[in-house]
Structure 1
Amino acid sequence: MSVISQLSSQGIAPRVFSHCLKGDSNGGGLLVLGEIVEPNIIYSPLVPSQPHYNLNLLSISVSGQVLPIDSAIFATSNNRGTIIDSGTTLAYIAEEAYNPFINAITAAIPQSVRTVLSRGNQCYLVTTSLDMFPQVSLNFAGASLVLGPQDYLIKQNYIGDGSVWCIGFQKIPGQDVTILGDLVLKDKIFAHHYHIILFPPPRLYCIMNSHESYNMLKNRTEFMKTTHIFKILIG
């Protein structure tokens, strides 16, 4: 039984927790035992009776175009599924979806951008900003999670006047599991209900200073839906 379930069974806190992970190099963030009820948040149902936070991922879009990937690849079964996991640093995508995903991103950027491989990962030598990279949408049942370049690219090193940015989504050979880790979750507010996970609208990001986030939540009671909230600063 989870800590959230135990607190809920004792009437101490509701059966929901929210978190916002800082995306800078110092880490940290905010964990709230309670619900943030910002009115523009949208939600997606969890797959029931699973040991993880499994979601129904239906498709992936790059630059608004749905990729030609069989949605059955993402469906939850004994060895497949899509999981939200803040204990995973990067992100993993089902092996059968990996190449279409990489190819779509590469096709969307200017041909002048040099592509390189680093430890088997697709990387790009960028001499300007990341604005040339497309938006990616993870389309779930009832909601889409929109990712900017900073949500799927990781800076590796420098070459001359450019920076090498690599796709942060990995694949696990022989497995069709998709895991959305901190790379995707950072700087966004997620609320985990017993049956649903809430997604923030595109511009609802964390305040980068955790103490400011704490004070914002404490002072804006209309954004809370509970009588007892425990706030834990991470980092």
Structure 2
Amino acid sequence: MKTTTTMLLCLITMLLIASAHSKEETAMRLDMKHRDSLSPNPSPYHRIEDIMGMDQKRHNVISQKIKTTKGGVKMSLGSGFDYGAAQYFSEIMVGTPAKRFRVVVDTGSELTWVNCRFHGQGPEKLENRHVFRAENSSSFRKVGCMTKTCSEDLAKLFSIAICPTPRTPCAYDYRYVDGSSAQGVFAKETFTLGLTNGSVTSIRGLLIGCSSNSEGGASFRETDGILGLALSDYSFTAKATNIFGGKFSYCLVDHTSHKNVSNYLIFGSTPSSTTTKAPARRTTRLDLSILPPFYAVNIVGISIGEEMLNIPPQVWGVKKGGGTILDSGSSLTFLAEAAYKAVVTGLQRHLVGVKRIKPEGLPIEFCYYTTKFDDRKLPQLTFHFKGGTRFAPYRRSYLINAAPGIRCLGFVEAKGEATNVIGNIMQQNHLWEFDIAASTLSFSPSTCL
């Protein structure tokens, strides 16, 4: 998760939007936004400092976890730039009567949860956040601690084995890859969701975490919970794709966008209105079984301009400890040591003459004064997928804004044999469609507006 604080990113503020009718004609949609700054008297580099710290923790745990283990809904999706957290956010409606909560959208998290009070456990109120009053919802159904669901099925989601009485709810202590955590009890609840045709529908029996306590960075301080989109039997993705068709999509607005700028997270068919005119849609294989619960892709190389970089093939092979995933919860892009050195060396050659700076305390190697720098002087960086598909991100996605007049190469070195992670800054301004049923990933350039 899980959470990646302050800076250029932050995924998500989603606003439910209407619609429901036939499964063939509608899709689920949520607004999605990105936001980033609420710290008092921040340093010029505070966002990238926080992002680096949280991303590094997240990547370490991702690597450890990997080694050991027809219409639809429409939800708003936007940057967390204005909230001081490096995530994207959306809004969901939970319970009966339905209450609205702002949540982090995370493709690396399996559990959906909200700040919650149940049977006297949990916060009465939280500053700038909402608390779900479970006992006020007629559709709230706790999961019992003596059930097979608790003792076996939810063991992967950190269910706690202690069960003093048959009436005791199934408890969890959910740990995120960035060091944050949430504690509470599992339940089944009703979600009210907007559809792409303008109507509204309800989904009953969704697994949700009623979190009485959570600890983490800016994302937890500014949001009400997490929307878990990882590939898991108990994630929001599993339920939504089963109902609305086996795919979901999102378009991440620029990570420096303000909260009034958003696009959508959609489960079901992708509306053509979110793409740019005549987009260059490309498709590659989505490997759903090799690095669960993450969304893995087969990258075979990286080029800069017309030059294919000399990167050992084992960097991309899962059996050698590598492999590559897309992760909405990581801001920067992590590359295994050999790939990282090849990429930054290749880009440096085209930044000769641009004054380099090493900001004090900033744990990122390559930053430059670029007030008068023309992006077009930097060659196109391209990721090459098995089968010939190519992903060419915008230059501002790999020479990223760190402070006024200063930009940095948006890559982090992952030491030794490690998983490569394509973060959300690299993904911005593209429409991404995850087709779970067909095991494909499609993408195309988009304004996301």
| TM > 0.5 | yes
What secondary structure is seen at the aligned counterpart in 2 of 1:171? strand
Residues 63 and 47 from structure 1, CA distance in 2 versus in 1: closer, same or farther, beyond 3 angstroms? Answer: same
Query: Could you tell me which of 240, 265, 286 is aligned with 1:46?
Result: 286
Residues 17 and 164 from structure 1, CA distance in 2 versus in 1: closer, same or farther, beyond 3 angstroms? Answer: same
Deviation at 1:150, TM superposition (A): 0.4
Question: Structure 2 unaligned runs (5+)?
Answer: 1-232, 273-278
- Paired residues, number: 198
Residues 70 and 141 from structure 1, CA distance in 2 versus in 1: closer, same or farther, beyond 3 angstroms? Answer: same
Q: In structure 1, how many angstroms separate the alpha carbons of the residues matched to 2:305 and 2:410?
A: 18
Residues 181 and 138 from structure 1, CA distance in 2 versus in 1: closer, same or farther, beyond 3 angstroms? Answer: same
RMSD (CA atoms): 2.1
Query: Could you tell me which of 380, 387, 390 is aligned with 1:144?
Result: 390
What secondary structure is seen at the aligned counterpart in 1 of 2:366? strand
How does 1:169-180 map onto structure 2 within 5 Å? Answer: 169-180=411-422
Q: In structure 1, how many angstroms separate the alpha carbons of the residues matched to 2:381 and 2:331?
A: 19
Q: In structure 2, how many angstroms separate the alpha carbons of the residues matched to 1:88 and 1:95?
A: 18
Q: Is 1:154 matched up with 2:396? A: no
Q: Which amino acid aligns with 1:31?
A: L
Q: Is this contact kept in 2: 1:4–1:15, CA < 8 A?
A: no
Rg bigger for which structure? 2
Q: In structure 2, how many angstroms separate the alpha carbons of the residues matched to 1:199 and 1:141?
A: 15
**Match of residue 237 from structure 2:** 4
Deviation at 1:22, TM superposition (A): 1.0
Residues 7 and 25 from structure 1, CA distance in 2 versus in 1: closer, same or farther, beyond 3 angstroms? Answer: closer
**Match of residue 245 from structure 2:** 14
Q: Which amino acid aligns with 2:448?
A: I
Residues 150 and 120 from structure 1, CA distance in 2 versus in 1: closer, same or farther, beyond 3 angstroms? Answer: closer
**Match of residue 222 from structure 1:** none
Q: Is 1:112 matched up with 2:386? A: no
Moved more, 20-29 or 188-197: 20-29
**Match of residue 258 from structure 2:** 26
Once the two structures are superposed, residues 160-185 of structure 1 have per-residue CA deviations (whole angstroms, 9 ceiling, x without a partner) of xxx22101111123342210111111
Question: Structure 1 unaligned runs (5+)?
Answer: 209-235
Q: In structure 2, how many angstroms separate the alpha carbons of the residues matched to 1:175 and 1:147?
A: 25
Once the two structures are superposed, residues 60-102 of structure 1 have per-residue CA deviations (whole angstroms, 9 ceiling, x without a partner) of 0001210010122112237321000111112111122111100
Q: Is this contact kept in 1: 2:284–2:440, CA < 8 A?
A: yes
TM-score normalised to structure 2 length: 0.41
Once the two structures are superposed, residues 183-204 of structure 1 have per-residue CA deviations (whole angstroms, 9 ceiling, x without a partner) of 111111000011111021xxx3
What secondary structure is seen at the aligned counterpart in 2 of 1:80? coil
Q: Is 1:76 matched up with 2:309? A: no
Q: In structure 2, how many angstroms separate the alpha carbons of the residues matched to 1:199 and 1:136?
A: 16
TM-score normalised to structure 1 length: 0.76
**Match of residue 64 from structure 1:** 306
Q: Is 1:165 matched up with 2:402? A: no
Q: Is this contact kept in 1: 2:252–2:448, CA < 8 A?
A: no
Q: In structure 2, how many angstroms separate the alpha carbons of the residues matched to 1:72 and 1:7?
A: 36
Q: In structure 1, how many angstroms separate the alpha carbons of the residues matched to 2:271 and 2:287?
A: 22
Residues 102 and 40 from structure 1, CA distance in 2 versus in 1: closer, same or farther, beyond 3 angstroms? Answer: closer
Residues 43 and 165 from structure 1, CA distance in 2 versus in 1: closer, same or farther, beyond 3 angstroms? Answer: same
Once the two structures are superposed, residues 123-181 of structure 1 have per-residue CA deviations (whole angstroms, 9 ceiling, x without a partner) of 122132322212100001231100232011222234xxxx2210111112334221011
Q: In structure 2, how many angstroms separate the alpha carbons of the residues matched to 1:116 and 1:175?
A: 29
Q: Which amino acid aligns with 1:132?
A: K
